[in-house]
Amino acid sequence: MGQFLNFVNIHYSPEKKFDRITWMISTYKHNKVTWIDLETPTNDEVRKLVEKYSIDPVVGNELLNPSAKPHINFHDTYIYLILHFPTNNSDEGNVEEVDFIIGKDFIITTRYSAVDALMQFSKVFEVNSLLEKSNLGEHSGHIFFQMITNLYKSLLDQLEHVKDLIEDVEDKVFSGQESKMVTNISRLNRRLLNFKEAISLHYEILKIFEALGSKLFDAKFDNSLRLITSEYIKVQHSLDNTREYLLEIRRTNDSLLATKQNEIMKNLTIMTFIMLPLTLITGIFGMNTHATSIVEMENDFWVVIILMIVVSITTTIFFKWRKWM
């Protein structure tokens, strides 16, 4: 990563293909392409970039704070693009915003938190810049292609992690922990919904970028532009499959819960039917009358008990015969 230095002059050593000197930002160079990466830029940093790369001051002002929605603008010498990406804590609704300013020989990325995928790409970029035979591309469009591919790969990794969590939930659902899994399933569903919301506008933005990229770069880059959109489609398909998997587990869990509750209700109903004649017998022999049969006979208590047992057994046999038990 670029070192944080206190001076503001940028220069590149002629004997090196890669050099990093920044204004509290990270600057990378490969062949004729310069990549400048800013995290939560200051007014002074943005002002210097606006002056150096002839960026519209309105765009520069937008770099200072996160944007609510993704969008894309075309200017004479660059494309301004904003995309949001779900984080590993997307169950809390958190997203990472990355702003891209893509010119022919430069690319500026602005973010407001540490984006792991960009940090990993910076290491790859640095290694390739130091290799004599390495070629990341002739213009910044190729750098953006590698960068966005890395970002979408990180989203696929996130979805794979969610799938692992769903598989763990599935195992617990079939091991009799249906009630405990209701909350876990709801949290995973919220996480996928937040994930979907974060990337919901990517397809429209990337289709516009395809058209604008054809104007900014050469015709040979058109295939790469289409490949960028295809990388997003991979993420979308993976998200759809993961959500469908989770919904199937939710439906299965709901069915098992309903079956278990029905079984409990059936058992309680059977117990009620068994106890009903016993309660009736107890009530009859508990009446304060002079003509109650059996009462005051020798061993009358045991006679009543035996009668109740016989009724209970008879009722149980009847339920089993009717296959209610």
DSSP letter for 175, please: T
Q: What percent of the chain has pLDDT above 90?
A: 43
Q: Could you tell me the pTM of the whole model?
A: 0.74
Boundary of a domain, candidates 226, 257, 288? 257
Residues 208 and 295 in one domain: no
Residues 48 and 92 in one domain: yes
Residues 143 and 278 in one domain: no
191's enclosing H/E stretch is helix 178-199
Residues 283 and 227 in one domain: no
Residues 250 and 288 in one domain: no
Return all residues near 271 (Cβ < 8 A) that are at least 6 apart: none
Residues 172 and 314 in one domain: no
Query: Is residue 140 included in any domain, yes or no?
Result: yes
What mean pLDDT do residues 274-294 have? 66
CB burial class (10 A; 0-12, 13-18, 19+) of residue 47? middle
What mean pLDDT do residues 274-278 have? 73
Residues 252 and 286 in one domain: no
Closest CA to 170 of 54, 269, 250: 250
Most confident of 78-92, 199-213, 286-300: 199-213
96 versus 22: the higher-pLDDT residue is 96
The answer, yes or no, to whether residue 82 has pLDDT greater than 70, is: yes
* Host domain of residue 311: 268-321
Query: Is residue 14 included in any domain, yes or no?
Result: no
Residues 284 and 199 in one domain: no
pLDDT at position 32: 83
The answer, yes or no, to whether residue 319 has pLDDT greater than 60, is: yes
CATH of residue 281: 1.20.58
Query: Is residue 263 included in any domain, yes or no?
Result: no
Query: Is residue 208 included in any domain, yes or no?
Result: yes
- Tokens linked to 129: 């810049």
Residues 219 and 294 in one domain: no
Query: Is residue 6 included in any domain, yes or no?
Result: no
Query: Is residue 48 included in any domain, yes or no?
Result: yes
* Residue 204 binned pLDDT confidence (cut-offs 50, 70, 90): very high
DSSP letter for 142, please: H
Closest CA to 21 of 33, 34, 29, 10: 10
CATH of residue 204: 3.30.460.20
For the chain, what is the domain count? 2
The answer, yes or no, to whether residue 182 has pLDDT greater than 80, is: yes
Distance between CA atoms of 2 and 5, rounded to whole angstroms?
9
